[in-house]
Amino acid sequence: MKATLIQQYITHTLEHNQTPTSVYQFAKAAGMEEQAFYNYFSGLEALEMSIYEQWFSEAYIQCAASEPWNGYSAREKVLAVFYTFIETLKPNRSFVKFLKDRDFKALPKWPSYLNTLREVFIDKMKSIIHEGLDSKELAERKYIDEKYVDGLWINFLFILKFWIEDTSNGFEKTDAAIEKSVNLAMDLMGKSALDAALDFGKFLFQNR
């Protein structure tokens, strides 16, 4: 029923060029009593916040269910989730653009309708990052590695905004943006020449 209500909310918004103004109005249009609506959502804001969360969860589940997923590196998992999420958005591009035009926030801020999505995103990306740290694909840096997930969240917001504004055929520029931005992020999280220099400096200091 939640999925049905979400789709009705999207349809209502696109047909009227505005979101429903009250639970009563929306429930009536959906053919249900207002009280019944609250069995699924605490209000229209909660429903709206669940939309992106549902899309992201669908994308992540699709990725995790694919045969090669368990053999992917952390980098490959992040790339797969980002690519699949954008594919999930495509059937609802008009609604995504409506929300962006209604409530735009300049990075690194984000609109409130993404709050529930962020909770799920952080949870899933933390798991991938931990795998990368365990495999040594990503560098352990005291205090800094705790912020890796925040960097991926900003990257995610950047990609979402880029796709909304992308006018290239097949959104090919968005595909390139995902590849380049995620690879850069993962390179920065990986062991680098700077880490080697710091390790060597630490060695020299301890053995002077």
* pLDDT tens track for 48-84: 999 999 999 999 999 999 999 999 999 999 999 999 9
Sort 205 into a burial class: Cβ within 10 Å, 0-12 / 13-18 / 19+: exposed
Residue whose tokens read 């989730």: 81
What are the angstrom distances between the C-alpha of 91 and each of 36, 94, 127, 131, 147?
A: 28, 8, 28, 32, 33
Backbone angles phi, psi at 33, to 5 degrees: -75, 150
Would you state the structure tokens that stand for residue 40, as one six-digit string? 């699924």
Does the reported pTM lie above 0.85?
yes
52 and 36 in a common domain:
no
Residues 79 and 156 in one domain: yes
User: pLDDT tens for residues 128-151?
Assistant: 999 999 999 999 988 888 999 999
36 and 55 fall within a common domain: no
Which domain does 109 fall in, by range? 48-195
* 201, part of any domain: no
User: 189 with 139: CB under 8 angstroms?
Assistant: yes
pLDDT (average), residues 93-114: 91
pLDDT at 194: 61
Whether 33 shows a pLDDT value over 80: the answer reads yes
Please state, rounded to an integer, the average pLDDT across all residues of the chain. Answer: 92
How far apart CA 208 and CA 204 sit, in angstroms, is: 6
Which residue has 């669908």 as its token pair?
58
Residues 161 and 110 in one domain: yes
pLDDT computed for residue 191 by the predictor: 79
Alpha carbon distance 99, 161 (integer Å): 11
The answer as to whether 154 is a domain residue is yes
Does residue 202 belong to any structural domain of this protein? no
User: For the domain that residue 124 is a member of, what is the CATH number?
Assistant: 1.10.357.10
pLDDT in tens, 148-191: 999 999 999 999 999 999 999 999 999 999 999 999 999 989 87
Q: Which H helix or E strand runs over 105?
A: none
Total domains in the chain come to 2
208 in any annotated domain: no
Dig out the tokens for 173 from the structure: 């520029």
Residues 13, 98 contacting (CB under 8 angstroms): yes
- The answer to whether position 164 is within a domain reads yes
Using the predicted structure, report yes or no on whether residue 3 has a pLDDT greater than 80. Answer: yes
Is residue 9 domain-shared with residue 76, that is, in the same domain? no
Q: Does 170 lie in the same domain as 100? A: yes
* Backbone φ, ψ for residue 39 (5° rounding): -70, -15
Instruction: Answer yes or no: do 97 and 136 share one domain.
Output: yes
Residue 5 sits in the same domain as residue 67: no
- Residue 195's pLDDT band (cuts 50, 70, 90): low
Q: Is residue 200 part of a domain?
A: no
DSSP letter (8 states) at residue 136? T
> Which own/partner pairs from 150-157 qualify as long-range (CB within 8 Å, at least 24 positions apart)?
151/185, 151/188, 151/189, 152/78, 152/121, 152/125, 152/185, 153/118, 153/121, 153/122, 153/125, 154/107, 154/108, 155/181, 155/182, 155/185, 156/82, 156/121, 157/107, 157/108, 157/110, 157/114
pLDDT for the residue 106? 83
Are 30 and 8 spatial neighbours (Cβ–Cβ below 8 Å)? Answer: yes
If asked whether residues 21 and 73 sit together in one domain, one would say: no
In a domain, 204, yes or no: no
